Every structure is written in C-alpha cells, then in structure tokens.
Structure 1
C-alpha cells in the first residue's frame, strides 16, 4: 500500500468476491439496558437509523469520526443518539472520504461508510442510532496494553504540546493508554508492543512537533491470588477527640479466573447499614490498583463481604472505604499472591538453514514451541514467548538470519511467572 502496488486489484477483488450487504443476514444488536433482547436492523434506508463508529482521526478541521451506516439514513445537521454512552450528539457535516480528498454529503444511507464532523464524545466502537429506536451494535473488543514507557517533554513549551498530542492519539487508538504515575508524577504511555509505541512517539514528533524523552520499555505485569481465604477481619478504629472513625469489615477472598473483579454482598440482619456497603466495595476496588507483592494491578479476584460492625456516631463512608481497602490487602497477603506476565503469540518465517538457530533462540527466551510447518522454501515456527524476553528480538533475528527471517507477534494471554523470576521482579520493584 505504501508504494501503491496491488491496491487496485485488491479493492476490485473486494467488490467482485465479497458479499454485498444485501446478501448477508440482517445486522443484530441488543436493546439498551436489556442485553438478552436481540434487535434486528436490515440494510434498508427505510429502517431506523443505526451506525457504528469504527475509527477516530484528528483533523485540522476537528475530530473526524468514521462510521458505517447499517440501516436507515442520517442527514447533516441531524441529532443522533450515542446509545453506548447514552448521550445525544449533533452531526455537523457528513464527508465522503477518498484518500486525502473529501466530498460533502447531505445524507448518508444504509451501506455508506462516511466520516462525521461535530461529534464531541463519540469513541471507537460506539453505536449511533435513532433515539426513538435505540440499539447497541456489537462492540469491538480491544486487548489491554502489555507494555508501557515513561515519557517526558524536553521543554516547557513541549509540555502543552505533549498533552494535546497524547489526547489526540488516545482518542484515535483505543489500545493506546495514558496515565500519570501517582508515585513519580511521570506521564506513562501504554500500548501493544515496542513497535506500537515507537510509531506513536514518532507521530508525536512529526505531526505535533513534540520533542520528548522516552524511558526504557516496561512490561505490564499483573497480580492475582491462588488460594481462597475466609472471614478475614480488619478493624479501622481511630479516636482523636470528637467524633472518631469506626468500621469493622470481614471478607472472603478467592480466585476468579478470567472473570475480573467481582463483589458479593452477604450482609444480613443490618450488621452493616446499606449506605456503607458500596463504600466498602469502592475501598476494595481502590486496593486492586496496587498489588501486595510488587504494586502491580490485581486481577481476577472475588471478594465477598460476610460480616462487620458499625458505630452509630463514629462510622462513616470513608471509614468503611478504608476498612475495605485494608481488609483486601490483609486477605490478599494470606491468599498466596502471584505475579502474572503477558505471553505473546510469535510466528517466525525463516529460510530452512536458519531453523535450528531460530528455534534455539526462542527456547532460550523461555518460549514454548507450538508447531512448525513448511511454506514454500521457508519454515514457519509458531511459539508462545513471554513479552519480557522479546525486547530487542527484531535486531537479534536479523543478525542471526542475515536479515532473511521475519516475525509477527500479538498478545495471547497472561500466565503465572516462574518463582525465581517472580522473586527477581519483586526485589527490583522494592529496590532490594
């Protein structure tokens, strides 16, 4: 595509061989607030309007939102409903995009792929529809970032430009995240790999004229627990004159593989008033951000609030939030916490004479070979390798194969880190 080779035949093939929207089943979605109720939209301009925003692009004229119209029609100036965020938006202009050329349209019909100007809060994956006939189309699922680096502007002038650049790029790319480290105050950017972040940093320099210093890539580790613990109690009692702070919380904590965080309320008999249940949950959730082993986010745990005590005068939402937070930390330390690392699916295409070298190198990186197959005069090696072992792999692969091998890599899953490496990570984080 970069050299404009083969683009036209490929697009012709799309038209000639892929099915027309009229030849495929109607698009399905769900009713807002009722995920089990399926709604259908046919590719017909007489149907209620429904579209999916699939791409956001920063533009000198404003934020361009690319969307595909699945049913109905929409006119420029119309008010549309973002059913994903439950907000109304105004469609200022409709543009038909052709490379770097654009044509203003008065209306977009079912089957059209267009760009809209004027949306304020629409993000990638949001559904746009008729408010009187709301629907939520199937969302795109984006993987969590697996690598992050600290980034700092070179000068004060770059500080403001960096903020605008990061906001614009994160709007465009849902897999690119920006946050501020609470301990160091540094700006941290996260993405799907070294190359992903390198490209984004390069765009900051080219498109936004930002000169910035980028730190060494860091792996986005996670923490979880491997053992169930029951009735772990934390008493938050402070008396400093006047009204004090009082909250007693008892929780069960157990692994919740693949289901994220879950909170269950089993309080009965008014042992904890209803207004203190949610603050307790919020306290536990705030503790998830900093795991007990090395401060990495904790995932896949189920917390059950089983008992507690309160005081008519000294109890408050803040007291129960602190008690929930500390009860979780106490329970997590007892529940055999472990560190999880991102595992990447790696595919290497190499001439046969370098096969042994490639396989040996992957094994030395704690890789697990999943399969090998011949592809013409080359061999394809598939393996799962920890991300922490893949830094610099591109250079090493070129060196060992005289530049004749290529590879692709994508996130596969999180797995428990081996004990000896976990110990090294904890020592490094704690500065031991």
Structure 2
C-alpha cells in the first residue's frame, strides 16, 4: 500500500494490490478514522518502453538573449533494457566535448524525463542510455542547461523508437466447484485473460490465469453471480505486457483529454 499527492491536482492518491484492497482501505478511513473522503474510480498504473534502439538522438537547449544565456548540447544512444533492469546511464564521452561537471546533470535530466513517457505520459521502464557526444559554451553552459538537454535528447529518442504501452498483468487463481468451471473460464476469457492451467483440489477446481488488471474491476461481483457465491479468487501482480493496439488507442485518447 502506498500513498502520495498528485502535485498537479492536489489529490491524495492511494495505491494497492487491487480493487478489493483499495475498497477495504477506504472503508477503514471512513469507519475507523472518520475521514469523509470522496473517491474516484481506480486507475491502472500503465507503463511505457522504447520499441527499439535509437542512435545519435540530440537534445540542444539554446537560449541566448542580451545578457547571459543558456547552452547545453547532448547526443545519446538509447537501448531498450532487460525487464527489471531500470534506468542505466553510461558516459561514453571521449575528450572534453562536455565538461565532466555537467555530465551528471545530463543523466538526471534523462531520468526525470523518463517519468512521463511520450505515448500517454506514463513512466518509461528499462532504458539504457549512452552519452556519446555534445558541445558546450564557455559562458552560457550550466548544470541546468545540460539537464534540459538530457531531457530533450531522451524525448527525441523515445519518439523515434516506436514506443510501446505496457499494462500490468495479474496472476489470478480462481477456486470453484467443478460445475461452474465453464462459467469461470468463459468469464476470464471475456476479460482478455489467458488460462495458464488448472488442477483439482478435492471437489473443487483451481484455475490459474493471467489477466490484465484493467479488466479485473468488478470481477468479484461477476464471479459471485456466475458461481452462486461458491467460488473465490486471489490475484497478485505478475508482469507488464504490451497493450493490444485497439486497447492502446483508447488509453492514449483518454490521456490526451
């Protein structure tokens, strides 16, 4: 369970393992802590990732007016990382084309920019970046300018990489009397779920599946209805997977509003 404040809206966001987890927390807030809270619909924590490597993406930040200006120029190579590898930044600069005191600022600018991806504004996962070239100005360059240059470079690279929208997949296990197995499997399939296996447990059947989290809202109610209240289920996060194109288009359209 996590909680944080959305800086843009001022709303308090609570994050948990699923719809039921959040419902229990909200109930406790109201009942035990007497918090009169208005809650919105649950939101899915989508993610993004680059589709392929992009070489020599450039971020040039140049502001030169009457007085002192700003100048930062960074050229990067970007590679999709292995799942779970996070953000990796490597300095491959040869010579002094960028003074060494500005290089950490480039990395910081890239890392912060990855928090809002170019597909629908979701964090970008598992990216390896090499800083390979750039330039600076004796007077106008600064840490701030190179931080902006890093941000511009990674955004340029991501746009060129055919980025992919990812959704959280949940490992769902439903235990049901055997006579309702067909209903349960049909319900899972209707939610874009993939059956992974099943096993007998006495007179019951345990069905294992991977289902997108976005399709699990309201599942507890449907399961009770389809099994006369005799089935139960558990779920936990499994992994992120690419969102089908037609579904991704809907998500992107909503994020643009």
Interval containing the TM-score (normalised by the shorter chain): over 0.9
1:192 and 2:17 are equivalent in the alignment: yes
Point out the more displaced range, 387-396 or 200-209: 200-209
2: CA distance, partners of 1:379 / 1:252: 51
Structure 2 partner of 1:210: 35
1:247 paired to 2:247: no
Match of 1:305 in 2: 131
| Superposition pairs of residues 294-373 of structure 1, within 5 angstroms | 294-373=120-199
In 2, the alpha carbon distance for the partners of 1:240 and 1:177 equals: 45
| Greater helix fraction, Structure 1 or Structure 2 | 2
1:334 Cα shift?
0.4
Aligned length: 256
The structural deviation recorded for 1:235 is 1.2
Q: What's the CA shift for 1:180?
A: 2.1
Gaps of at least 5 residues in structure 2 are: none
Whole-angstrom distance in 1 between the partners of 2:104 and 2:135: 15
Secondary structure at 1:218 match in 2 = coil
- Aligned pairs for 1:231-310 within 5 A: 231-258=56-83, 259-310=85-136
Residue-by-residue CA offset, 1:24-50 (whole Å, 9 max, x unaligned): xxxxxxxxxxxxxxxxxxxxxxxxxxx
Backbone CA RMSD of aligned residues: 1.0
CA drift of 1:190 comes to 1.1
Q: Which of the residues 185, 190, 204 maps onto 1:378?
A: 204
1:400 and 2:226 aligned: yes
- What runs of 5+ residues in structure 1 fail to find an aligned partner? 1-175
Deviation string 1:207-262 (CA, Å, 9 cap, x unpaired) is 32211111100000011112000011121111121110111110001100220111
Secondary structure of the residue that 2:38 maps to in structure 1? strand
1:391 to partner: Cα distance:
0.3
Range with bigger deviation, 189-198 or 353-362: 189-198
Q: Secondary structure at the match of 2:131?
A: strand
3-state DSSP of counterpart to 1:217: coil
Higher strand share: 1
Q: What is the deviation of 1:377? A: 1.2
- Cα distance in 2 for partners of 1:221, 1:257 equals 18
Q: Which residue of 2 aligns with 1:181?
A: 6
- Length-normalised TM-score, structure 1: 0.58
What corresponds to 2:215 in structure 1?
389
In the alignment, which residue of structure 1 is the partner of 2:244? 418
TM-score (norm 2): 0.97
Whose RCO is larger (CA < 8 A, sep 6+)?
2
Runs of 4+ aligned structure 1 residues displaced above 3 Å come to none
1:264, CA displacement in angstroms? 0.5
2:106–2:146 CA contact under 8 A, matched in 1: yes
Tell me the CA shift for residue 202 of structure 1.
2.0
SS of 1:270's equivalent?
coil
CA shift, 1:404, in A, is 0.8
The DSSP-based 3-state class of the residue aligned with 2:159 is: helix
Which is higher, the Rg of structure 1 or of structure 2? 1
